[in-house]
Structure 1
Amino acid sequence: MRTTKMGEEEKGPKETEQSPDLPESSAGASSLRRAVESISSLISLSFSIKIFAAKWNTIRTKLEDLNSGLAAVQNCETDENPVLLGLVSNISGTVNECHGLARRCVDLSYSGKLLMQSDLDMLSAKLDLHARNLSEIYNAGVLTHRFAIVVSRPGNGACRDDMRFYVRDLMTRMKIGGAEMKRQALLNLYEAVVEDDRYVKVVVEQSDIVNVLISLLDSHEAEIQEWSAKVVSVISGFGSYKVVLIGAGIIAPLIRVLECGSEVGKEGAAKSLQRLTENSDNGWSISAHGGVTALLKLCSGCEGGGVRAELVGPACGALKNLVGIEEIKRFMVEEGVISTFIGLTRSKDEVLQINSIEFLQNIASGDEAVRSMVIKEGGIRALVRVLEYRSACSCKVREIALRAVENLCFCSTSCVSVLIRYGFVEQLMSFLRNGEASIQELALKVAIRMCAKSEEAKKALGGANFMTELVKFLDSRSFEVREMAAEALSNMVSIPKNRKRFVQDDRSMGLLLQRFDPKQGNSGNKKFLFSILMSLTSSNSGRRKIAHSGYLKNIEELAEAEVSDAKRLVKKLSTNRFRSMLSGIWHS
């Protein structure tokens, strides 16, 4: 593994050893170099050992950490520090001892298994002691950097061992390095896990690396805290690895960052909590550490413009995930969360708008008391404002707002009246005429719900020329859209005023009757179409237009084919003064 100066081209091994930026090697530097070389040689030898595999894997991991630590020290001004020189001497002695044990294990020349196991355990303990001592020397601040170190990341397609060695090297620098070294190591690790998710697996498979990352969340250095929060947020995005973070105790440090960290650190913590709360089992742990209060505080702060939307968006997302826990939902309601989130629907940030709308929808779902609070505090007005066609909202936001209207606003006729008063009918018309296909479908569904709930809604939709738009959808390629349009139209013509309007519209009548022409495509189920015609026969002009149309014979043929709806329609048309106009196919 090679290292370079930050911002310089990577050099080959010989050129690196003879870098003109480094002074002549002192005795201390020479002993350091020999120790590093000896440990590297020992690590290579350890791969040849076939017995006591678990113990040698542990020893090899500790050797790699120690090697990275000494390599980092090589790039510092040691000033012939006597404590460091003494530690290097002790490490060299332990490494020599380890070489001897390794050689005996390779050659199978040891005297007994129990004795060798004991020797390996003692060796492992010595390596732990050396690592702690090296860390203490580094943290004491007696070493200063010659230059910032950038560890060379293995290229694309690197083998797992190279990736693991690279990550452990970064971990060692995070453990024993000063602020700048820690920051640089975290930056490199973040870039690695973002660009290649194989590195995420390498990190989570080694609990000590996860523990180091978690400990750095409590760093007093803002940048160190920020980069560690960013790395954790990436790892938390992988479902199978969340349990590792939870098991390592990630919740409490994340919430501390959320409470006291920098804006960037809080953003990383909020993203992690949003992803971790996708599993509701983690909700209680977050609540127990004060996470719900911290998240609510962030969302409340955004209303006055004091907190960035990029931070509040994931905080809203985390709270949205937690409303499924009844006790936590009640706590949120008591803390005034409904008015807070109604205010957040006005945000210009798409993610924040989506999360706030979905939160209101989720918290009111199946709870009439909370639903009433949402409506009372202005939830309907907020949704209608989002849906304004001239607003800058994206199609996705409008789609989610329409779904929220469908789920929240049809609990009573009074809610429908509020929708109408706020101009919602005109919005539906805009979506039907100009919206994308997904929005048009939702508008049709909402229209059906409105008509089914309120006579006032039927009149309002009829007065807004809604029926003319609905007829156009009877020719849609989508069976679902045709059915929804026919159902909505059937509901609307059930009242006299709308029937009169429809019958007077010759073009709409013609398009409707064309649906009974067998030459036309999209014939399908005609249940709602027959229902519309049955309603229209309640007026003299409606019966007359149907009877004089060229499509009556098609309806008669359907009646002859024992289509019950067609038989009922023909029977109604054949009564009174229209009886003589028909062919007499009906025999009851």
Structure 2
Amino acid sequence: MGEEESNLICQSSAEKPRLKQAIVLISSLISLSHSIKVFTAKWQSVRNKLEELFSNLTAIENCESNENLSLSIAVESILGTLKNCDELAKQCLELSYSGKLLMQSDLDMLSAKLDTHTKSLSDIYAAGLLTQSNAIVVSRPSVSASKDDIRFYMNDLQSRLKIGSSDMKKQALDAFNEVIQQDERCVKIAVEIDGFIYLLVNFLDFQESEIQEEAAKAVSLIAGFHTYKSVLIGAGIIAPLIRVLESGSDLSREFAARCLMKVTENSDNAWSVSAHGGVTALLKICGSSSHCGSELIALACGVLKNLVGVEEIKRFVVEEGAISEFVELARSKDEAIQICSLDLLQTMAYRDESIRKMIIEEGGIHALVRILDPKSSVSTKTREVAFRGIANICFSSENSISILLNCAFMDHILYFLRYGEVSVQELALKAAFWLCGTSEEAKKVMGDAGFMPVLVKFLDSKSFEIREMAAETLSSMLIVPKNRKKFVQNDQNVQVLLQMLDPGEVNSGNKKLLLSILMSLTSSNSARKKILSSGYLKSIEKLAEAEVSDAKKIVRKLSSNRFGSMLSGLFWHS
């Protein structure tokens, strides 16, 4: 045994004081480096490496080294480098260095040595030569903390992630996840620290489920910041996330799916997910509803919704027979699954008649109408999605309209027009408008069902869009003679129309549509009588005087019949 090694063994009993000496010296050098005004970029790099080394040493200080020879050698080597660093710092402060190029070279060599020391400490811990004692994570920086304080904290966490035991790693990940939810600066600084994001990505393949879960949560949280999604992609996040989807714990899979949903909002990343088998993994989750949690299935549908925007991926999903699975999910009793699967089906059906046909053939219409049944105990949001689904999937073919009319869809629309919450009422009104425009038969059935009095009530809505849609739907229905007759039989219907034309009426917009409706009604003797005796005739006359075309036509129609005597004294010029 050599004399130097023998001396080091003797020093091992004093290992802790030497370690403490190194920690104190690094702290002093970090503080000193802020005062240096030359080679600032070089010293910034040195300071970052000193901070990382400081965190590693403080983490090791909380471990039992058992008089470890490797650690003693490493600490002595570190002290030598720190002494050299102190000399270089003083030269730069006093501007006493012999040349700029030489000093730049010396600082580069110093940085390389610090990297070597950090690696050697990691190797010592990885070799199992240290055991955790009472490791305490550095106090979390407050909201008012400086960037330097946050960087110090993040470096400390990184050190514990690198060299800590499983418990220490979990503790550090948990602390990281808490702090990045409170202060976005922590995410920014973590991204800037060399290797931090790669470390998190590598933990996705960790065997211990708790660490994998915390890592998956971390990358999911980071993906929530738009600015940093590209950093995750650059660190190779896609493949590990898919491996977690395939074999991770339930919680890890949920976080992984959530992260994938965020990063695939950019369609450029869709191909990467597909290339690593992600589409197959997601389809497997959707097809295993009895073995996977509802949250995971809903998230998988969300990721697929982002992916099917790529035509080739959508075709692959169809070829895998997934449409029937998604329709089955739409029948689920879990509303999150219902909503996400319906959103996915609508996205796939957009401008694609063949897929719409497949959805209908798989029973999609019945699944959608079932959700709209007033007796079903689903949320307003689910009904909103179902209404949109019917509009996007069903109103494109006569066959689908026929199915809708035969499975009580019209009854459901009418119910929600009468009793639904405002948001659902609006969607029901849109559905009535779309349905009315599909066929003459639909108009007749709607007239018999009692839609017209309900639509008349919407003519007085505060919303211009609702008034307009109600008027357009009513105008379309009154093309049918049978509906006109039924409409006129109700005195209140004609009265409301005329009242809406009164210039003093608050919600008197949509005059063109209202006049169009009145014009269609003037073919009825009964309607003409009601208009002439209503007391609102002057409103129509004023509009005619203002050269409103339909108003002039109505007045002509009224004056040309056997009730013309009632308009004596009024002369009209075209």
User: Structure 2-normalised TM-score?
Assistant: 0.94
Aligned mate of 2:430, from 433, 445, 450: 445
Mapped contact 1:406–1:446 kept (Cα < 8 A): yes
Change (3 A) 1:585 1:483: farther
Q: Which residue matches 1:162?
A: 149
What's the offset of the Cα at 1:176? 0.9
C-alpha offsets along residues 552-578 of structure 1, whole Å, 9 cap, x if unaligned?
333233323322101212222333433
- The one-letter code matched in structure 1 to 2:301 is C
Q: Which residue matches 1:501?
A: 486
C-alpha offsets along residues 6-40 of structure 1, whole Å, 9 cap, x if unaligned?
xxxxxxxxxxxxxxxxxxx9512111111111111
Aligned mate of 1:171, from 158, 171, 186: 158
The whole-number CA distance in structure 1 between the counterparts of 2:28 and 2:216 is 36
Matched, 1:151 2:135: no
Greater CA drift, 140-149 or 232-241:
140-149
Matched, 1:391 2:391: no
Q: Which residue matches 1:539?
A: 524
Matched, 1:375 2:375: no
What's the offset of the Cα at 1:277? 0.7
C-alpha offsets along residues 446-493 of structure 1, whole Å, 9 cap, x if unaligned?
211111111222122212211111111111122221111111111111
What's the offset of the Cα at 1:198? 1.8
The whole-number CA distance in structure 2 between the counterparts of 1:141 and 1:155 is 34
| 1:474-493 correspondence to structure 2 within 5 Å | 474-493=459-478
Change (3 A) 1:585 1:348: farther
Change (3 A) 1:509 1:348: same
Matched, 1:42 2:56: no
Q: Which residue matches 2:5?
A: none
- The one-letter code matched in structure 2 to 1:275 is K
The whole-number CA distance in structure 2 between the counterparts of 1:67 and 1:503 is 88
Greater CA drift, 264-273 or 396-405:
396-405
What's the offset of the Cα at 1:586? 4.0
Q: Which residue matches 1:20?
A: none
- The one-letter code matched in structure 1 to 2:94 is D
Matched, 1:523 2:508: yes
Give the length in aligned residue pairs: 562
Change (3 A) 1:406 1:190: same
- The one-letter code matched in structure 1 to 2:531 is I
- The one-letter code matched in structure 2 to 1:449 is W
The whole-number CA distance in structure 1 between the counterparts of 2:379 and 2:196 is 41
Mapped contact 2:349–2:392 kept (Cα < 8 A): no
Q: Which residue matches 2:8?
A: none
Aligned mate of 1:117, from 91, 100, 104: 104
Q: Which residue matches 1:5?
A: none
- Secondary structure of the 1:443 match is helix
What's the offset of the Cα at 1:350? 4.2
Q: Which residue matches 2:535?
A: 550
- The one-letter code matched in structure 2 to 1:228 is A
Matched, 1:63 2:39: no
Mapped contact 1:203–1:210 kept (Cα < 8 A): yes
Mapped contact 1:417–1:457 kept (Cα < 8 A): no
What's the offset of the Cα at 1:333? 1.0
- Secondary structure of the 1:172 match is helix
Q: Which residue matches 1:107?
A: 94
Mapped contact 2:372–2:386 kept (Cα < 8 A): yes
Greater CA drift, 79-88 or 54-63:
54-63
What's the offset of the Cα at 1:363? 0.8
What's the offset of the Cα at 1:349? 4.3
What's the offset of the Cα at 1:501? 1.7
| 1:393-472 correspondence to structure 2 within 5 Å | 393-472=378-457
Greater CA drift, 111-120 or 266-275:
111-120
What's the offset of the Cα at 1:142? 2.6
Mapped contact 1:556–1:585 kept (Cα < 8 A): no
C-alpha offsets along residues 161-214 of structure 1, whole Å, 9 cap, x if unaligned?
101110111011001111111000000000001122221111122241111111
C-alpha offsets along residues 246-283 of structure 1, whole Å, 9 cap, x if unaligned?
11211111111111211111111111110101111111
The whole-number CA distance in structure 2 between the counterparts of 1:258 and 1:474 is 52
Aligned mate of 1:209, from 172, 180, 196: 196
Matched, 1:96 2:83: yes
What's the offset of the Cα at 1:348? 4.4
Q: Which residue matches 1:259?
A: 246
Mapped contact 1:295–1:315 kept (Cα < 8 A): yes
Change (3 A) 1:61 1:357: same
Give the unaligned 5+ runs of structure 1. 1-24
Greater CA drift, 171-180 or 28-37:
28-37
The whole-number CA distance in structure 1 between the counterparts of 2:191 and 2:133 is 32
Q: Which residue matches 2:7?
A: none
The whole-number CA distance in structure 1 between the counterparts of 2:522 and 2:564 is 14
